[in-house]
A and B are shown apart, each in its own frame.
Chain A
């Protein structure tokens, strides 16, 4: 007989206790790899191999077996307890342990999910009048139930005091020798269990215990809700998690939840538009901030994707080397994201020696393991240039409509997709020579060979991780259509060189190369990057992207890593957004339609308002559309009238009525209901954020301030303060509760609008150690706390201001060529058309373009640390252009930029 108990197996305790009660001693084999016959269900865990070769994998059946060996036959009652334990208690205990060990919730919070089951036990013991579950002696039922409960309770005093009978049963069981011996192993086991649970989160407990997504927090409050909320409130700052103190560089820590977050790498020479920003970097940033607030050990990585044909083409057009071009645009990207307050731990690039080293290593490993194929492709080659031509480098006559200037990939006239070798009279775009069709050797990743591994991995990761439905759907579609070998090499020079004879003049195709950027960027951040990327046991990986990027992250890149067989960390949670449209159309750089990252700051609208509106619109589950009118509405209604108004009023009352000192609070039933209401919203917020449903979580925050406004409105502290002693006390309580709700909002808002959050913390003088994000509303600003100067957080947007912006970004009048031209670094700004009347849309359009271009130029100069005189000259030009624009738009040039007051 062999008993195998892997570390952290949730059911270890009861099995060890039952083994201790067995007639013959059983020596458990703790930990170690699985040996002998394969046990069910997969993955193998705790098991007992009997002498006849039978393997028991169910902990309860193992306990039952030890008791059968003692000659104790199962009865109706013991069978019933075992069934109850397996179907009801185990799932609830797993959820409670997850809450406590992984999410760090307080004991009583975690026990809440078990409450009805504990009551059931109490009632049974009290009614039956016996000292144990199935009679007066310890039976298998007691061991099994005790073994499940012990890791959550540990001590009978953690049971609610009204469960007296259960308490004494639990104490008696814990003192019984076999249980006591098993329990001695607990501290070690709990640590393992925590890691185990972090990687295998149990399904959420049923709707009875926690509000599900569908259930609105508007549901009626129960007495339990209110009692729990009052309890949390009274615990004060002690109920808050301590602020997370990361070491630098951030590295995984054993036993903690280690969260690695990536945002899809933006292509370097496209200026990101609002859709790109909300699609990955801003979504990832919001989650990264939340993750840090929860005290999870978090690393957030991104960078620019720089290799490929598009960069090479653009560099040729601009007369720069690809490297120079990338340097310029990388700075532009970094600048945009820093303006949006994106909190990358590192923002790197893919054109580094680390990239070459890691990409070539993965390539060599794939090659050595036989996952690469060779095949011949027919491609156009220009002999005079001495190079194979990428599709964009060829022009010719369209084989379908005979249009003479068709491009190598598509005909602009008939719109059909073209295979470059089919073009009639092909011409090299660079030298106008005639390219010839030449066979060329390429390498392919053998995806069909890796399909089995991929599916097995997907099954595991889907069972435990949060993948958005679109990510699962797109992946399934790819698998359903069958995987084909994919070419991983290109005839280019701007890329990671292929380290194989016969291919040395080629580079890796970007889709193979770019995702490796996550690894190489981390490697440039810390030389211990492998602790993040070759550590799936300890690290949870979140990938953020728009849906068009899903197959590369769910199929192709995982296949590269699985085939490399180097224990790589693969994605656990794949978060893909739908598309954000612009005023019901598409963002288009070439047509000048939409707001691009570099222009957002020129609108005069603060970064946090942009963040708020984009997150409020986040295309979660379906496409959504950016609209200027809606931006104005949301700013004025949600930010200004709801959120800003509540926080400002709460703070102002403290200043005006109580000389800046938080008054004494005497909670009435009505206040307690508000605490419970806010706590319910906070719980919902956490549930949604844990599932990365960012937009919905933001709705919870807004609901809280709505409740707060209502509360102030009903209680009218501004009237009561003028009343008798009792009224004044009431005014004090309402003000005190409201300002504490405002303090909680500061923490809840931090992932969304960090600048506003900091402003609230500054105004209310909340000390840093009390800025943590609690699970429920707690009194962080006790009576006697002094607040600072309170001022409005948001500014109203005026319809005229927004209408001007709408016209400015509507595009249409820009000719194609003009918009396609990148801002030339040295070109002087063209003189404005002085003859045009003010309000002329064409003039406004032109000036807007020029302001944007000049703005870019200034930023590039600053980023490149150009001489001050040079920068100043260009800044002066920019200011002049802005002034002209203002005049053309018919507004005063000194118009305030709408910056938030601090």
Chain B
């Protein structure tokens, strides 16, 4: 099984994607290895979503958090879903539920928040990468909407970086011969 992109690594990917100078030091806390960002002023920030949103605001790319109240709430909701449901150590059954949920949600949407690309897509992509790498051709076909969305996000400029490219086949591997 592919290793999950965890906490600090994920935030460093995000920094580069946002064009931030980098150089932040991340610690981890507790058994869940919750990332912590030490800041010069104040007690620091704890939690993946908290730090990621903070980085987005610092990079002045607030549109990634949504523009209207509706969009902001939806982005918030999917970020929460990402940290509560899609975490490194989840069981096979949990993973299946997540893929089913997402597949249904993405049935009529381009991005998680509808028609705009947001931080939710970015973090969900990082969170799902290790799962998608291991899916069989049949599974990718079964979760077709997730596959379409994932393929789209991994080709979004600057998102994928050094992560492996997950291959999605658009025509069927086996024709009637089998």
Contacts and interface: CB of A to CB of B under 8 A. Distances in A.
How large, as a class, is the contact surface on chain A?
20 to 34
Nearest to B53: A79
Nearest to B31: A206
A60 interface: yes
Contact of A84 (B46, B73, B96, B104): B46
A327 to B, nearest CB: 47
Contact of B72 (A60, A68, A76, A208): A68
B88 interface: no
Given A62-B73, A74-B53, A80-B46, A459 B83 contact: no
Given A65-B69, A68-B69, A462-B93, A41 B85 contact: yes
B76 A60 contact: yes
B34 to A, nearest CB: 7
Indicate the size class of the contact surface on chain B: 20 to 34
A58 B70 contact: no
A208 B83 contact: no
Nearest to B37: A76
Nearest to B72: A68
B46 A52 contact: no
Contacts of A79: 47, 49-50, 53-54
Interface string A48-80: 001010101110111011001100001010011
B156 interface: no
Given A76-B50, A76-B54, A83-B47, A61 B77 contact: yes
B165 interface: no
A94 to B, nearest CB: 12
B77 A86 contact: no
Task: Name the prevailing secondary structure of the A interface residues.
Answer: helix
B22 interface: no
A40 interface: yes
B80 A60 contact: yes
Interface string A86-107: 1100100000000000000000
B80 A83 contact: yes
Contacts of A56: 73-74, 77
A83 B85 contact: no
A222 interface: no
B27 interface: no
Nearest to A60: B80
A57 B77 contact: yes
B122 to A, nearest CB: 16
B101 A83 contact: no
Nearest to A62: B73
B54 A64 contact: no
A479 to B, nearest CB: 14
Contacts of B45: 76, 80
Contacts of A74: 53, 72, 76
B32 interface: yes
23 contacts: A40-B101, A40-B104, A54-B74, A57-B77, A64-B72, A64-B76, A68-B69, A68-B72, A68-B73, A74-B53, A76-B50, A80-B45, A80-B46, A82-B76, A83-B80, A84-B46, A84-B47, A86-B83, A87-B47, A87-B83, A87-B84, A459-B93, A459-B96
7 cross-chain pairs, A with B, having the tightest CB-CB distances, nearest first: A61-B77, A65-B73, A68-B69, A83-B47, A58-B77, A80-B50, A61-B76
Interface of A: 38, 40-42, 50, 52, 54, 56-58, 60-62, 64-65, 68-69, 74, 76, 79-80, 82-84, 86-87, 90, 127, 206-208, 459, 462-463
Given A54-B70, A60-B76, A65-B70, 14 more contacts: A38-B104, A54-B74, A56-B73, A58-B80, A61-B80, A62-B73, A64-B72, A74-B53, A79-B50, A80-B50, A83-B48, A83-B80, A87-B47, A208-B31
